[in-house]
Structure 1
Amino acid sequence: MRVGLKDVAERAGVSIKTVSNVVHNHPHVTPATRARVQAAIDELGYRPNLMARHLRKGRTGIIALAVPELGNPYFAELAGAVVDAAADHEFTVLLDHTRGEREQEVLVSQGFRANMIDGLILSPLELEAEDLRSRTDDVPLVLLGEREYDLPYDHIAIDNVAAARSAVRHLLGRGRSRIAYLGARTDSANRPAQLRLVGWREELTAAGVPAPDDLVVPVGGWDRDEGARAMARLLDSGTRPDAVFAYNDLVAIGAMRVLHERGLRVPWDVAVVGFDDIEEGRFGAVTLTTISPDKQAIARMAVASLLRSLSAGDEPGGRELTADYRLVERESTLGRR
């Protein structure tokens, strides 16, 4: 038979209310009583019935997280952080990936799983403001990433322009002056790739360093293969940078492989900075200097925003929340010490 609060209360010799206070970690319980109740919980193997608790509040206890690609280490690490943050509030996370396709992002945002979830955290790539303006689903929504919508949904991002400027400033400080940007996209001005390009150009201009177009290399995607192809195209064009700022760590890792194959040493011949601080970048033959977004903070802020929406009812969102980042200096710009 399932062990309940009454069983624990009887074993500990306290009231059911006291057991509930201990389970919910309320402060007004003496240390001795808390220890006695915890001992009874451990002895009886009591586990809270989270489903019943959520149902009493008219909830499912499930929130959804939809990202472009779970195979991308950044999104995988972010998903893990969201799962942990949700668990702190006794919520389960349903994971979905949209492949960065507008049709799938619209489907997710319009609530095709609305009866299963209490809220949605969505990191879109192609979704447009008009798609969200026509949204009829009332499930709370929090947006991640750098798409700007000016709509009544909380939006969490880092300052990509400032982060890119930090990366380029670091390379300039290492004595580099021909700094390539790998990862440009021309299809939208408000996506991360373009914001990072803006930061690259602004920092070079502020330092009085040329920012020629032949150092800007577009890509068709943001994985290792694309980074390798972009680096090869740049070198084959006869343009020789002394540093590379890559859209993300995967592009940077692909670029470093080509540099190695061409006999160019990182960082002595070409320094490299990535973006995302994925685990792979810490364990390569040359560890990767990178911009590290605070994924834990992004996850906590996203979950907290959803819970705020659940508690606020019809109160609109629309807050712009900025998470922190830092530059992590490693061997790809510093060399081995």
Structure 2
Amino acid sequence: MAVTLKDVAELAGVSVKTVSNVVNGYAFVKADNRRRVEEALTATGYRPNLGARNLRRGRTGFIALVVPELSVPYFAELTGLVIGAAHQRDWNVLIEQTQGVRDLERATLASLGPHLIDGALVSPEALEEADFAELAPGVPMVVLGEHAVDVPFDRVAIDNVAAARAAVEHLIELGRTRIAVIGDNPRRGTAALRLAGYRAALAAAGLPQRGDLVAPASNYHRRDGAEAMRWLLDRADPPDAVFCFNDLLAVGALFAAAERGVRVPEEVAVVGFDGTEEAAYSLPSLTTIAPDKAAIAETAVDMIHRRSVAEAAPAAENVQTPFALLVRGSTRPGPPPP
């Protein structure tokens, strides 16, 4: 039979209320009573009924995280951080991936309701502005990432235009003048923003906007980066620097450069985007734009919490979190990572 609060109270020699206060983390419990209860909890192997506790609190105990692909390192790392932040609020996380397909994104959001979750964190790729208005699930929702459409929900993101511009300005400061991009894709809102930052940096430096140095990518995987890099290196006047719209594309670009015998960074410098752990251990190590993923996760979960306890719905917030340019061997030769 399951151990009850009454069983623990009898063993500890205290009231059931005292045991409940200890289990629920209330501070105002005498030190001696707390010690006896904790010893009794260990001895009996008591486990709280989280379902009943959440029902009493008027919550499900779950939030949802909807991302395009868990196999992409950025989303894998972000997922781990969201789970950690959610556990601090006594939430478990239900995870769904959509492959960035609009119909799957719509169907996933439509399936989420207050009977299942207390809130949702969503990183959409294909949803359009009208979709958000139609698919509001009746639970607090936070959109992760910057997109080219307005949404009636809280949003947490970095400034993609500014981040892309910082990456390209770094290459310009190194004296590179034929700077290409890999990742142009009309289906991805962040691609348009990063392309805008790239073009703004070129314009400010008085460098030409060359269409033959803008390489498309149907997906943002290593294979796509390698194929795009080969296409760029086949140009009559190939680039002396490449800005990739994520780290996987950049890792593929590094592979293609090595395959062709092109030295990085001497002949072509490479910058990625995402600040993933993989970037630090590529050869050479990858210079990258690193969003503060921990801040994104913590801010988004905190937004869900504040909305879940608010008596009146506050206005939607748009929070920008920091990013950093991590300069490594793919733009400047240096020591390997520790």
Please give the TM-score of this superposition, normalised by the length of structure 2.
0.90
Contact 1:111-1:139 within 8 A present in 2 as well: no
CA deviations 1:288-330 (Å, max 9, x no partner) are 1111111121111221112222212551542101122112222
* Structure 2 CA distance for aligned equivalents of residues 115 and 43 of structure 1: 35
> Which shifted more, 238-247 or 30-39?
30-39
Paired amino acid for 2:229: M
2:302 and 2:327 map into 1 onto residues whose CA distance is 31
Partner of 1:156: 156
CA distance in 1, matches of 2:268, 2:34: 60
- Kindly report which structure 2 residues correspond to 1:131-280, keeping only aligned pairs within 5 A, or say none: 131-135=131-135, 137-186=137-186, 191-280=189-278
Q: Following the alignment from structure 1 to structure 2, what is the Cα–Cα distance between the partners of residues 98 and 114? A: 21
In the TM superposition, what are the counterparts of 1:315-330 in structure 2 within 5 Å?
315-330=313-328
**Code of the aligned partner of 1:257:** F
**For the Cα contact (< 8 Å) 2:113–2:137, is it kept in 1?**
no
8 Å Cα contact 2:247-2:273 kept in structure 1: yes
Q: Which residue of 1 aligns with 2:80?
A: 80
For residue 183 of structure 1, what is the amino acid of its counterpart?
Answer: G
* Structure 1 unmatched ranges of 5 or more: none
Q: CA contact under 8 A between 1:286 and 1:332: conserved in structure 2?
A: yes
Q: Which residue of 2 aligns with 1:291?
A: 289
Aligned-partner Cα distance in 1 for 2:183–2:34: 55
Deviation at 1:172, TM superposition (A): 2.5
Quote the sequence identity (%): 49
Superposed displacement of residue 269, structure 1: 1.4
Closer, same or farther: CA 17–289 of 1 in aligned 2, 3 Å: farther
Which whole-Å deviations, capped at 9, do the CAs of 1:7-62 have from their partners, x for residues lacking one? 44444444444444443444444655544443333333233222111111232211
Aligned partners of 1:148, 1:42: CA distance in 2, in Å? Answer: 53
What is the Cα deviation at residue 144 of structure 1? 1.1
- SS across alignment from 1:252: helix
Structure 1 counterpart SS, 2:138: coil
Please give the alpha-carbon distance, in whole angstroms, between the structure 2 residues aligned to 1:88 and 1:206.
45
Aligned residue number for residue 95 of structure 1? 95
Report if the CA contact (8 A) 2:126-2:187 is conserved: no
Match of 1:126 in 2: 126
User: Match for 1:282 among 280, 283, 299?
Assistant: 280
Could you tell me whether the CA contact under 8 Å between 1:123 and 1:144 is conserved in 2?
yes
2:36 matches 1:48: no
Secondary structure of the 2:331 match is helix
Cα distance in 1 between the residues matched to 2:31 and 2:172: 57
Q: List gaps (5 residues or longer) in structure 2.
A: none
- C-alpha distance in structure 1 between counterparts of 2:141 and 2:38, whole Å: 37
For residues 136 and 217 of structure 2, the distance between their equivalents in structure 1, rounded to whole angstroms, comes to 36
Q: Distance in 1 between matches of 2:292 and 2:14?
A: 43
Which residue in 1 is equivalent to 2:111? 111
Structure 1: how far apart are the matches of 2:34 and 2:269? Answer: 56
8 Å CA contact retained: 2:148, 2:193: no
The Cα offsets for residues 97-143 of structure 1, whole Å up to 9 and x where unpaired, read as 11111111111222356532222211111111111222363122211
Instruction: Give the aligned residue type for 2:310.
Output: A
TM-score by length of structure 1 reads 0.91
1:59 aligns to what? 59
Describe the SS at the equivalent of 1:334: coil
**CA RMSD after TM alignment:** 2.2
